[in-house]
Structure 1
């Protein structure tokens, strides 16, 4: 049997049943089409060879009929070879029909669609600092992503993703409480809400193999960025990694980026630098008019002009630097600065909310090291095992009259000083290894710790009890991902437990919801009769856990 053809036949099954390890739907279809063309060429060559072979055999039969009594074993071997070749031709003809159908759906039209649907069932449990417990034994969600990729040329393409993340039955609608932040721009598609289909990603990508005459491949992109499920956090989410380091940033964002591959210039494997900038909040008046909710009075406005007294624009800028990556070892770093971050303006005495206020900026630095395959041929298990470690730092840059991540008052009633910068740290270790049950499944274990003033911007993290990466304390996680039908239908069981040491892990950046206070100190003060501490205990989550099961269809 022709070995190249046999390999192509095996590869064809791989093409039609896998994602080809490509980053986008467009890349997957491009790889598929290239492979189909190669297979069609080999099929034509096989047909031509068989035609020549048949003609030659007829001539030989006429000229050498006297050899009809040749060795029977040789005849049987030839018959067997002919049967095998016939089977190959027949298989390729069937495959050719499939290729034709796929080409009808793809050739001449580079708009590619992909569907990603996930049903999840979760058991959520919370223990408050005063001993109260809250839970939801069966929180169910539908998450749907519709992926769209369009390539006008090999240099420029468009990528979009429509999404919704819906709680089963939505909400009862009978409660009196408002939910003003559930459609906040940073989490609008990650938060389980209603069945409104929203834009999650929409951007164009330009790429070129040279930059102003130098041998530096580069890209430029602008739009609604794919900035969730970034590096390392993507492993447990069973997704391709987006650009950011998931340790310190995981939110939806509107912005631009430009990547420069430095491998040809430096000779260092995989080296690149990526510059990113975006806007996470815009000060712009409404089209017609606004209303002051506190006084119910109409406010004069000019359409989309900046408004005095409104929140300032929130902007973020930074860069991602991959220092090295050879496929097995990868070293990544990230640095960014976000300005005009917000806090909740709350009167703690009366528990009244007056809106949001600008409190200052924040620096963030992250470095991670990943090993994709431990050792070199020690065992198949270690070859397929991934290990990573990541460290991060955050440092606030408050306004002179603002407090970031600490309260205006201490437990003993003393007022704190405004304008102080606070620094926090976090580390994260994890491993992912082959399933102990099936051939294609992946299991993982992770642990992360955050100090008192640690602050990440990870509100869109796919953890419904709150971002584990934002935890000021310890977070433990174990997950089991198994594939049921090729790489199309999968299931996962995940357990997440967060033990908080300090308050404010999932709050904003100001002196109320984001304030870091040691929980054990509050408990001690409450036991000693401090009424302020006693009132606080019922609003503080001491620990939380999430047991989640999902079924996921991707194609």
Structure 2
């Protein structure tokens, strides 16, 4: 009997220690607490039965009571240790192989037939109270073995740039990808407005729409214009009770992408640097979701970023310079389930469309995207995800992106090795299949991404050196035909473990 109860205790512990700090986590805590209470009640009943039986048989009831009290003590101790008083960990590990093919503007070819990489996300969560929690994530993302072109101070040093340090297949260093506290309450200043606030490192990656092909739960940003690692704060205010529209809310966001500061041992540590070429890069934004009933949803996002940068010249070792500001705006609509009870296939079909624009604001005597004048870029993105014909949990999807000559989002963190497909100045096509191998714990994905660039600079910075759009013929005439990608494709297969 004692082994039976200990087995139940261990099972409850395993359920809890792998939880993630969201609604599911709280539900698992509630479930565990109910199970603990049920076990205690059963023990009390069993204790009475055993003591009664012991009296009838002449057995020492004190021994029976002591054994059962020991089990109750173990349950109480385990309850204390698992009910929010320790950090809970989760694992997301992926091994992938990518076949990369490039056709340059001059017609030459570059490729990598099998680029192998491992990615580990170690998720950490701690729920201190009903209102306050902590979320963190350590990330490891590296190529198999040691990369022959590892960072050496030249262009490859940007592999570790803060905006993409956990998104690049880099080295075996474990990095802090996210770390922030999260506060939530049902009332804001006495009003019937639920609200949340978070501060820390909270990467704006895996946002709405890109999460579908990445097989992740959507984070708050609209990925059409923002997909990047960042440090900052956000506050969300639920408006459903106020305006009566399902799931409506707005969210304010602010972050810093670069801090201009002197080194630690300079005469004035961390003061603003005397280097006038760069300054603090700050971004502010607002996300508005007017309606979301889980089947039909729409959202809008506006951002403004200042002091954006580019390389001083073609030599990366020469450093960066500030070039100007950038405004972006995007809107999307999504249908998660076509119609009502029109059949299992349509019930599990997702359709979406998104439109976006970017507008540069060059500073005095500076150029952005090759021009001293403000330039507007536009993009649209459509896609669909369908249920698999192989399994009930599997899915497959198709997506298309198109961007104009001066299109410039901030999507450097997108999980596509050939460069952000969303940032494409041209056309991008994608097809993917995701299938479970062991429930939702072990999954397999096969993905094909093809990009046909009409202009260069899609994955550059914001100035002229790397961000200026050039047609393929102009690139050849300027002597850059072997350096500018005309067409690119990535065939990726991965196995992913999440628990």
- Measured against the shorter chain, the TM-score band is 0.7 to 0.9
User: What TM-score does the superposition give when structure 1 sets the normalisation length?
Assistant: 0.78
- What is the alpha-carbon distance in structure 2 between the residues aligned to residue 404 and residue 476 of structure 1? 28
1:457 aligns with 2:433: no
Deviation at residue 534 of structure 1 after TM alignment: 5.1
1:32 aligns with 2:28: yes
Count of aligned pairs: 463
1:304 aligns with 2:270: yes
SS at match of 1:536: coil
- What is the alpha-carbon distance in structure 2 between the residues aligned to residue 310 and residue 173 of structure 1? 28
Deviation at residue 208 of structure 1 after TM alignment: 1.1
The correspondence for 2:330, drawn from 363, 366, 379, is 366
After TM superposition, list the pairs within 5 Å mapping 1:57-456 onto structure 2: 106-107=82-83, 109-172=85-148, 178=154, 179-289=156-266, 301-308=267-274, 309-346=276-313, 354-406=318-370, 419-456=372-409
SS at match of 1:537: coil
- What is the alpha-carbon distance in structure 2 between the residues aligned to residue 396 and residue 177 of structure 1? 29
SS at match of 1:181: helix
Residues 38-74 of structure 1 deviation map (CA, whole Å, 9 limit, x = unaligned):
567788999999xxxxxxxxxxxxxxxxxxxxxxxxx
SS at match of 1:32: helix
SS at match of 2:246: coil
Query: Residues 258 and 501 (structure 1 numbering): CA distance in 2 closer, same or farther, change over 3 Å?
Result: same
Larger gyration radius, structure 1 or structure 2: 1
Which residue does 2:53 correspond to in 1?
none
- What is the alpha-carbon distance in structure 1 between the residues aligned to residue 218 and residue 334 of structure 2? 13
Query: Residues 174 and 337 (structure 1 numbering): CA distance in 2 closer, same or farther, change over 3 Å?
Result: closer
Query: Residues 320 and 352 (structure 1 numbering): CA distance in 2 closer, same or farther, change over 3 Å?
Result: closer
Deviation at residue 288 of structure 1 after TM alignment: 1.9
1:496 aligns with 2:462: no
**Unmatched 5+ residue regions in structure 1?**
1-11, 50-98, 290-300, 407-417, 527-532
SS at match of 2:211: helix
Query: Residues 101 and 114 (structure 1 numbering): CA distance in 2 closer, same or farther, change over 3 Å?
Result: farther
Residues 108-140 of structure 1 deviation map (CA, whole Å, 9 limit, x = unaligned):
524211011110111001000111111111101
Query: Residues 315 and 224 (structure 1 numbering): CA distance in 2 closer, same or farther, change over 3 Å?
Result: same
1:542 aligns with 2:486: yes
Which residue does 1:61 correspond to in 2?
none
- Over the residues paired in the alignment, what is the CA RMSD in angstroms? 3.0
- Once the two structures are overlaid, the 10-residue window that deviates more, 106-115 or 278-287, is 106-115
Deviation at residue 151 of structure 1 after TM alignment: 1.3
- What is the alpha-carbon distance in structure 2 between the residues aligned to residue 174 and residue 46 of structure 1? 61
- What is the alpha-carbon distance in structure 1 between the residues aligned to residue 151 and residue 414 of structure 2? 27
- Once the two structures are overlaid, the 10-residue window that deviates more, 358-367 or 176-185, is 176-185
- What is the alpha-carbon distance in structure 2 between the residues aligned to residue 108 and residue 187 of structure 1? 32
Contact 1:117 1:142 survives alignment (8 Å): yes
SS at match of 1:431: strand
- Once the two structures are overlaid, the 10-residue window that deviates more, 39-48 or 448-457, is 39-48
Contact 1:25 1:113 survives alignment (8 Å): no
Contact 1:337 1:361 survives alignment (8 Å): yes
Query: Residues 197 and 501 (structure 1 numbering): CA distance in 2 closer, same or farther, change over 3 Å?
Result: same
Contact 1:226 1:243 survives alignment (8 Å): no
Contact 1:25 1:114 survives alignment (8 Å): no
- What is the alpha-carbon distance in structure 1 between the residues aligned to residue 342 and residue 41 of structure 2? 42
Contact 1:369 1:390 survives alignment (8 Å): yes
Contact 1:170 1:193 survives alignment (8 Å): no
Contact 1:26 1:151 survives alignment (8 Å): no
- What is the alpha-carbon distance in structure 2 between the residues aligned to residue 111 and residue 158 of structure 1? 9
Deviation at residue 312 of structure 1 after TM alignment: 0.6
User: What TM-score does the superposition give when structure 2 sets the normalisation length?
Assistant: 0.86
Contact 2:456 2:469 survives alignment (8 Å): yes
Contact 1:275 1:318 survives alignment (8 Å): yes
- What is the alpha-carbon distance in structure 2 between the residues aligned to residue 482 and residue 458 of structure 1? 27
Deviation at residue 518 of structure 1 after TM alignment: 2.2
Deviation at residue 246 of structure 1 after TM alignment: 0.8
